Structures are given as C-alpha cells and as structure tokens.
Amino acid sequence: MSWYIAPKVDSANRAWKWLANKNELAILGNLSSGDQQNITANKNLNGDAKAVTRPLFIGRNTLRGPNIYQVDARYTRTLLTKERLRPKFIAEFNNVFNKENITALNAVVPVDATGAGILLTFFQPLSTVLEKRIVQFGIRLDW
C-alpha cells in the first residue's frame, strides 16, 4: 500500500501559509504473508549427487515463514523557490516500527535411515532480508 500527501493551504496569515505549504509526505507499507519454503532432510536419502531431499511424506513448500510487516516514510520540504532553483530538505525512514522481518527459516529435519523425521523441530530464523530501522537526511537542489 502507498499513500502520498502534499497539502495546499490558502491563508491570509503569511507565516502559517509558508509553514503549511511545500510539504510532502509519502508512506509505503508492505504487509504480506511469509515466504514458502521446503523442509529438507539432514542427509541425502536418494543416493544421488543432489544433497537436498525432503523427508518422507513431506510435500513441497509446506513451511511458511513469519508474516512481513514493514512501513517506510519520506518527508520532503521545499525550502524556498527562486525562479528555477528549488532546494529541498529530505528525511527518509525505512522500517519505521523497527520490526524484525524474518524471510528464511532453518528448515532441516533430522531423519532416520528410512527417511522418516525423528524429532519435532522448531524452525529457527536463518536470516532476515529486510533491514532494521534506517533514518537518513539529505538536501536536494532542483533547477
């Protein structure tokens, strides 16, 4: 989802008009279910060169990772306008709520000689791909 607002205020008060205008706010949200993954055995059950095999009775993509929730925001303020020069102040916020978004789980299950799973496994996070909160500021000059 995305949202963009650039309000235009008409007022007799020059200070209020200067303060309220020339602002832009953009918000981008990513709310999605987790990625699907394969559960794999901790040893090669087929005897072939490919080392990744699934335990018995486990289908493809049967594991789903945690949901992903990330909100990013950007604020831009045009400082002043002189003919063709427009300096802007920019503040960007990635992952505003600083949620850890796990995108991969350690989905390896110990199996016996027949290929059946031995233990009930709690899948631990393997990695995260979406960054923690990042805040950056900048100045831009449009001409």
| pLDDT value of residue 136 | 97
pLDDT higher than 70, residue 83: yes
DSSP assignment of 83-134: TTBEEEEEEEEESTT----EEEEE-EE-B-TTS-B-S--PPEEEEE-S---E
If one compares 98 and 84, the residue with the highest pLDDT of the two is: 98
| pLDDT value of residue 121 | 66
Q: Which residue segment(s) compose the domain that 27 sits in? A: 2-142
Could you report the per-residue pLDDT of 105-133, keeping only the tens digit for each? 888 888 887 777 777 666 777 766 778 89
Percent of the chain clearing pLDDT 90 (strictly above): 38
Q: pLDDT class for 139, splitting at 50, 70, 90?
A: very high
Count: domains in the chain: 1
